C-alpha cells in the first residue's frame, strides 16, 4: 500500500496502485474504504487489464484521521487531484460510489485535463439527506464518539457486517463532517457541476433504483445511464461481477 502526504503535519492518504493499462481511480462512499469496497472489482477479469488506483480518502480506511481537516467534498477532491498530479496520470477514469461520486465530479471540474471519463455509481447529485448521510449529519459533534459506536452496532444488527467494519475504522469526526457537507445546500449543486462538464460521464443505477426519475432525466443532459442488475445501493458487494461489467461497458 502506498502513502501520499497531504499536509505539513505529515498526514497521508493511503492507496493501492495496481499496474496495468488505462488508469481507473476508485473513490468510495461515506464510511467505506476503496481498499475494501473495490479490491475484488479491481481484479475482476473484465477490468484486470487496467491500472487500478484504490484511494482511501482522508479520515477513512487506512488513511490518516486528522481532526484539523475540514472533510468537505471540495477538500477531498483537491487531494485526489494532487495525487493524480503526483502520479503524472492523464486521461484517468474516475469511478465514484455514492459520496465518492460527488467528490469525483468536483475533482473533474477542478482538473479536467487529467480526467478522461466519469463513472458515477449512484453518486450524490443534490443536497438532500440520504438514508445514511441524513442520520449521521444529525449527530451532535460533542457526542460523535458515542453516536459512531451506536451506528456501527446498528449496521451490524441490520445485517451489514462489511459496512460496519469499514465504518468502525473511519474517523467519527470524518463521518460527521462529511455527511454535513454532503447534504448541505450548495451553489452550484453537484448535479449542476456535472451538467457543465464536457467530460463523458455514465451514471450507474442499481436495479432497486431503476425507477428513479434520473434514469430518464440524466440522458437528456448528456449523461449516459446503465442499470446494474440484482443489487441495491451497495452494488459492488451485491453483484461485483455485474458492477465490473457495467464499468467495463462505460469506459469502452
Select from 3.30.9.10, 3.40.50.1820, 3.40.50.2300, 3.40.50.300 the CATH code of 2-128+185-250. 3.40.50.1820
32: pLDDT confidence band, cut at 50, 70 and 90? very high
Tens of pLDDT, residues 171-180: 999 999 999 9
Residue 210: is its pLDDT beyond 90? no
Q: How many CA atoms lie within 13 A of 99 on its CB side?
A: 33
Alpha-helix runs per DSSP H in the chain: 34-37, 39-42, 73-86, 99-110, 133-137, 144-157, 161-169, 172-183, 190-196, 214-220, 235-238, 240-250
| Distance set, CA 117 to CA 25, 113, 172, 219, 252 (Å) | 10, 11, 32, 16, 10
Half-sphere exposure of 175 (CA within 13 A, CB side): 30
State the chain's maximal CA–CA distance in angstroms. Answer: 48
Q: Rounded CA gap, 168 and 174, in Å?
A: 12
Measuring CA to CA, which residue among 34, 25, 41, 29 is closest to residue 86?
25
- Please, what is the average pLDDT of the chain? 95
Bond from prior residue into 118 cis (ω within 30 degrees of 0) = no
Residue 233 in contact with residue 209, Cβ under 8 Å? yes
**Assigned C-alpha cell, 179:** 455527511
Average pLDDT estimate for 33-50: 94
3-state secondary structure of 98: coil
Percent of the chain with pLDDT over 70: 100
Residue-wise pLDDT for 130-165, tens only, equals 899 999 999 988 899 999 999 999 999 999 999 999
Q: Could you read off the pLDDT of 213-234 as tens digits, one per residue?
A: 999 999 999 999 999 999 999 9
Task: State how far the Cα of 227 lies from the Cα of 117, in Å rounded to an integer.
Answer: 18
Q: Which three cell numbers stand for residue 194?
A: 456535472
Query: Taking the domains of the chain in order of start, what are their residue ranges?
Result: 2-128+185-250
Q: Residue 9, Cβ neighbours under 10 Å: how many?
A: 11
pTM over cut 0.85: yes
CA distance between the termini of the chain: 28
Edge to edge, what strands does the sheet with 23-27 contain? 2-5, 12-18, 51-56, 23-27, 92-97, 115-121, 201-206, 224-228
Q: Which of 46, 92, 95 is nearest to 202 (CA)?
A: 95
Amino acid at each position: 500500500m502506498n502513502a501520499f502526504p497531504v499536509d505539513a503535519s505529515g498526514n497521508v492518504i493511503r492507496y493501492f496502485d495496481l499496474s496495468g493499462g488505462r488508469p481507473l481511480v476508485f473513490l468510495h462512499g461515506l464510511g467505506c474504504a476503496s481498499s475494501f469496497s473495490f479490491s475484488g472489482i479491481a481484479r475482476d477479469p473484465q477490468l484486470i487489464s487496467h491500472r487500478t488506483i484504490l484511494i482511501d480518502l482522508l479520515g477513512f480506511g487506512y488513511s490518516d484521521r486528522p481532526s484539523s481537516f475540514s472533510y468537505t467534498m471540495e477538500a477531498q477532491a483537491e487531494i485526489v487531484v494532487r495525487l493524480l498530479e503526483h502520479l503524472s496520470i492523464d486521461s484517468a477514469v474516475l469511478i465514484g460510489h455514492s459520496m465518492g461520486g460527488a467528490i469525483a465530479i468536483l475533482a473533474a471540474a477542478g482538473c479536467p485535463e487529467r480526467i478522461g471519463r466519469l463513472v458515477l455509481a449512484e453518486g450524490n447529485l443534490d443536497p438532500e439527506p440520504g438514508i445514511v448521510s441524513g442520520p449521521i449529519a444529525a449527530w451532535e459533534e460533542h457526542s460523535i464518539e458515542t453516536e459512531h459506536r451506536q451506528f456501527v452496532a446498528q449496521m451490524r444488527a441490520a445485517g451489514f457486517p462489511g459496512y460496519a467494519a469499514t465504518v468502525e475504522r473511519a474517523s467519527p469526526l470524518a463521518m460527521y463532517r462529511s455527511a454535513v457537507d454532503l447534504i448541505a445546500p450548495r451553489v452550484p449543486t453537484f448535479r449542476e457541476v456535472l451538467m457543465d462538464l464536457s467530460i463523458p460521464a455514465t451514471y450507474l443505477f442499481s436495479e432497486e433504483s431503476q425507477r428513479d426519475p434520473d434514469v430518464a432525466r440524466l440522458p437528456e443532459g448528456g449523461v449516459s445511464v446503465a442499470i446494474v442488475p440484482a443489487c441495491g445501493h451497495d452494488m459492488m458487494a451485491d453483484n461485483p461481477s455485474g458492477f465490473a461489467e457495467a464499468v467495463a461497458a462505460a469506459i469502452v
